[in-house]
Amino acid sequence: MKKNFLPITLIACLAFSLVACGIDNHNNAELKIKNQNDTRIYGERGEPARQTLNKYPADEDGKAGVKVDSIRKKMYPR
């Protein structure tokens, strides 16, 4: 029984690996995206999505940088 275990296991692993090669052809489920035609979410074709990062104006007076530094010092003291 012990002599046959290793060859049988190797043959089973080989069979399963060969079956796994063609598994992509079996998944033919059609995906239905809920808001596929919503331009507010996905934007127009060929343009970037509208839900991208917000772009803020430059900090001209430097107050935001000072506030960020003070918060950083409170949260991450050295």
Q: What is the pLDDT of residue 42?
A: 73
Tell me whether residue 76 is in a domain: yes
Tell me whether residue 6 is in a domain: no
Tell me whether residue 51 is in a domain: yes
| Cβ atoms of residues 41 and 51 within 8 Å | yes
| Cβ atoms of residues 68 and 59 within 8 Å | no
76: left (phi over 0), alpha (psi -120 to 50) or beta: beta
Domain count, the chain: 1
* Sequence-separated (6 or more) residues with CB below 8 Å from residue 50: 39, 40, 41, 42, 43
Tell me whether residue 53 is in a domain: yes
Tell me whether residue 21 is in a domain: no
Q: What is the mean pLDDT of each run of 10 residues along the chain (78 residues)?
A: 83 76 68 79 74 73 88 91
Tell me whether residue 15 is in a domain: no
Tell me whether residue 69 is in a domain: yes
Q: What is the pLDDT of residue 28?
A: 72
DSSP 32: -
Tell me whether residue 78 is in a domain: yes
State which residues form the domain around 56: 38-78
